[in-house]
């Protein structure tokens, strides 16, 4: 999620969140094996990956909301254990770990097939009028997205930063715990700077909403169906205009549906989302909220 934008700005294009479908588990496992250095080891020498993975606490959403760790921390959502949550002590720490992955996965006009170097990443952030801290308030990825990020780093022998190496370790841990099933990895930072406590709660809830979308196939399909047939054309246009003002790629219909869902159902902060911001009557947004919510069944 981005900071709210008070003025109109051009929509970013070319976002490929949904296109990161190159073999979720295949890529992830291949990358994992490569990091573990097992590719060239004799089969007998395989290390026991499960045995070394420490437990990741399962916490309810309300518990995550009340947690403000002083160091980056991996947790797992009790209501939907396929959603892993990274809590960062600051927007700066979050940006350091996540921004280069965001550039690869979803930023328009940036390479989809290689990682940026540090200079390119800083230039891309500056061009958008942001800093590394403000580029994102929160992040949300499918496991396949992060697997691709890590596989490209491995392929091109790109040196990851210390923060990115930490992210890689959390990904491997989540992969191990997921037993090969796709998962989502979302993040938020502790309040500070552009992010106050109420906004932090709303961002965390918003990103968890994306986590549900990424990991509950029935919900994914429901949201897409409601976007296509439950929203009127005028309502879709209003949401597209709002999301475009916030910097999202309005040409990516899957993203529009996913974001419309996350803002409508999971963003309880009127500075980030309200019927007035989207330009629709409250009753219209309430009707869409009920439609979207009717397809959410947590496991
Ligand atoms: Zn979002």
Model pLDDT for residues 177-235, shown as the tens digit of each residue: 999 899 999 999 999 998 999 999 999 999 999 999 999 999 999 999 999 999 999 99
Do 26 and 105 fall into the same domain? yes
Could you list the residue range(s) of the whole structural domain that residue 278 is in? 216-299
Last residue of a domain, one of 139, 173, 204: 204
Q: Both 49 and 162 in a single domain?
A: yes
Task: Determine the distance separating the centroid of ligand 1 and the alpha carbon of 166, expressed in angstroms.
Answer: 23
Judge whether 11 lies within some domain. Answer: no
186 in the same domain as 291: no
In a domain, 4, yes or no: no
Q: Is residue 127 part of a domain?
A: yes
The verdict on 114 and 177 lying in the same domain is yes
Question: pLDDT category, 250, cuts 50, 70, 90?
Answer: confident
Is residue 140 one of the residues assigned to a domain? yes
Q: How far is the CA of 155 from the centre of ligand 1 (A)?
A: 29
pLDDT digit string, tens, across residues 5-48: 654 333 332 222 222 333 333 445 454 444 433 434 344 555 55
Pick from 141, 171, 204: which residue ends a domain? 204
- Do residue 43 and residue 191 come from a single domain? yes
Tell whether 248 and 197 lie within a shared domain: no
CB atoms under 10 Å from CB of 168, counted, come to 20
Establish if 10 belongs to a structural domain. no
Is residue 1 situated within a structural domain? no
Ligand 1 center to 259 CA (angstroms): 5
What's the 50 CA to ligand 1 centre distance in angstroms? 32
Distance between CA 290 and CA 180 in Å, rounded? Answer: 33
Domain annotation covers residue 7: no
**CB of 164 closer than 8 Å to CB of 97:** yes
Domain count for the chain? 2
Q: How far is the CA of 44 from the centre of ligand 1 (A)?
A: 45
Looking at the structure, tell me whether residues 189 and 238 fall in a common domain: no
How far does residue 260's CA lie from ligand 1's centre (Å)? Answer: 8
At 248 the pLDDT is 79
Residues 175 and 235 in one domain: no
Residue 211 forms part of a structural domain: no
Q: Are residues 188 and 251 in the same domain?
A: no
Single out the residue in 204, 225, 240 at which a domain terminates: 204
Same domain, 76 and 191: yes
Q: Are residues 117 and 226 in the same domain?
A: no
Ligand 1 center to 243 CA (angstroms): 10
Q: Are residues 122 and 261 in the same domain?
A: no
Lowest mean pLDDT among 74-78, 84-88, 124-128: 124-128
């Amino acid at each position: 999620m981005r900071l709210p934008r008070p003025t109109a700005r051009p929509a970013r294009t070319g976002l490929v969140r949904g296109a990161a479908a190159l073999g979720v588990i295949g890529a992830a496992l291949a990358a994992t094996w490569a990091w573990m250095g097992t590719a060239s080891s004799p089969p007998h020498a395989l290390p026991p990956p499960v045995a070394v993975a420490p437990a990741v606490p399962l916490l309810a959403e309300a518990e995550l909301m009340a947690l403000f760790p002083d160091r980056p921390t991996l947790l797992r959502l009790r209501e939907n254990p396929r959603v892993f949550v990274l809590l960062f002590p600051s927007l700066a720490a979050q940006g350091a770990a996540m921004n280069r992955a965001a550039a690869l996965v979803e930023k328009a006009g940036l390479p989809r097939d290689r990682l940026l170097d540090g200079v390119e990443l800083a230039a891309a952030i500056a061009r958008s009028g942001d800093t590394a801290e403000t580029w994102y308030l929160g992040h949300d990825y499918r496991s396949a997205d992060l697997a691709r990020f890590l596989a490209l780093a491995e392929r091109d022998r790109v040196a990851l930063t210390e923060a990115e190496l930490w992210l890689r370790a959390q990904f491997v841990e989540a992969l191990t715990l997921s037993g090969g099933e796709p998962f989502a990895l979302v993040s938020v930072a502790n309040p500070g700077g552009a992010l106050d406590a109420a906004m932090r709660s709303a961002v965390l809830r918003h990103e968890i909403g994306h986590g549900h979308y990424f990991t509950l196939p029935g919900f994914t399909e429901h949201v897409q169906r409601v976007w296509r047939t439950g929203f009127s054309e005028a309502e879709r246009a209003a949401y597209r205009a709002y999301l475009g003002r916030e910097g999202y790629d309005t040409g990516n219909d899957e993203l529009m549906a996913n974001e419309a869902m996350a803002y409508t159902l999971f963003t309880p902060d009127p500075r980030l989302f309200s019927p007035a911001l989207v330009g629709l009557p409250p009753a219209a947004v309430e009707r869409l909220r009920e439609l979207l919510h009717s397809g959410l069944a947590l496991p």
